[in-house]
Structure 1
Amino acid sequence: MDEPTLRRQLREAADAHRPDRARILARVERGMAAPPEPARLRRRRPRPAGPWTRTLAVAAAVVGVLTLGGVVATTAHRAPAPVATMPAPHPPLRAVGSIDPGSNRWWAQSNITLTASTPLSALTVELRIARTGGVIDTGHWRTLPEQDFTVSVREEGAALVYRWTLKEGRTVPPGRHVFAGQYNHAEGARDVAADSYTLTTTDIFHRQESLHGDFNAPAR
């Protein structure tokens, strides 16, 4: 058999070879444990490599590469996968009541700040101002378009009530929105402990929510 044919057959055998890693590692361990070669054998002059020797060396190198590749692939496969961390979800709806800093000893404005993370298909905002100290309505406003809401202001029992209702077919976009009621009152600092507000909402996913708060803490 000529050398080119032999090389081709060895290469095909190497491609089809599936090394037994356990046996190879065992042979390596036995070789490491074997006693050192006598000095007289190490001084023996090596014979020149003939065609057969060079061919076998090529085959051994191919098998070694395949074996090493299998070990590397196995080690890489055992590497731990990174753990994904999900961010904490934000509340879909938040509201805070506050007295506007522009208020004075005779006049005040009560603000309701609504923060929505999803569009709202229905919204009613109700602000109740206790009728203490000569409270009288002087106006109202909101940051959303005026034409999107029906607004009413009336006296109900012991409270002056402002109510904003989103019209059918209109939508409140995600974001921060303010609703404000304005009123005169008797001179001096006014007690807001009896004032409150309520929000009822439905988002575009048909989820309903109701929030109730005052002007000392966020809605709950």
Structure 2
Amino acid sequence: MSPTPPPFWRAALPVVICLVLTGCSSEAVDAASDAPGSTASTPPHAARDTGPDGTGKHKGSEPAAAPVRLSIASIGVNTPLMRLGLNEDGTVQVPPAEQGMTAGWYTGGVAPGERGAAVLIGHNDTRFGKAVFHDLKKITKGADIAIRNDRGAEIHFRVTGTESVSKKAFPTKKVYGATDERVLRLITCDGAFDAQGHPVDNLIVYAARS
């Protein structure tokens, strides 16, 4: 396997983290219809809390504070957050396998605490072993998720539900669709392995600001 983890999506959406043996690979998901086979080259931005000029901020306002640390006390997660953008081919970056115990924030979406859906991505396992979201499946409804930003503030979210979904039927609109609420999504791998050693499902954790 290449030392650089492959993208989540051929469709350029950070929707799947899929293990190849103990590493990660990707599956294609249609950004428009939630069906396989999308050829979209950039992630959707409709859910962003943009200002009148579409820049992500309103006139006279400061840029949103960036998240720097994630803590989920109930499952023992305490990790810095790296920034995940886009690769040269327009696909979303993932945390490097050698940094499997570090989660990432997809900067193409909103920052946690902004209006819209913020997305955090973490491996379940990598070729180096257990990773940051290994125990994410143990999280329960009502669990507290704390995110500290680069201005020293701590924002809290409460888990509203979890969902294990097939990578071939990922609920793109449900996860990334526009919303007036301030919500958070955590995404990792889940489920059984296929014949090539790839997990067939994704685990999605939904949370709302508390």
Report if TM-score (shorter chain) is over 0.5. Answer: no
Give the TM-score of the pair, scaled to structure 2. Answer: 0.22
Instruction: Report the structure, 1 or 2, having the larger helix content.
Output: 1
Larger radius of gyration: 1
Give the TM-score of the pair, scaled to structure 1. Answer: 0.21
